[in-house]
Amino acid sequence: MKPILYFANKADIEGHNEVADWFETLAKAERSHANRYHKALTELIYQFLLKRINIRRAMWAWFLGWHSHCGSGGQRR
């Protein structure tokens, strides 16, 4: 994105206003896409980690529920 803004600045200095506007529009579009991809990747990672945490919690709940009968005479708590 920085090279695009460099080209926009350079075109503006040389008097090519339409080209400078085009490069600035392109830089805004790239920034928007980058933000959208970053948001999607963050959400994907969050959902993956949340799923792993929930699976581990379920495994521990099952394990603790299964082994809770050890000290209570064979009855599950």
Contact of 6 with 23, CB cutoff 8 Å: no
The model's confidence at residue 71, banded by pLDDT at 50, 70 and 90, is low
**Domain residue limits, the chain:** 2-70
Mean pLDDT value across residues 54-75 = 70
Q: Does the predicted TM-score (pTM) go above 0.75?
A: no
Q: Compute the distance between CA of residue 67 and CA of residue 45 in angstroms, rounded to an integer.
A: 33
> What is the average pLDDT value for the chain, to the nearest integer?
84
pLDDT of residue 64: 78
Contact of 4 with 30, CB cutoff 8 Å: yes
pLDDT of residue 53: 85
Token pair recorded at residue 33: 């896409």
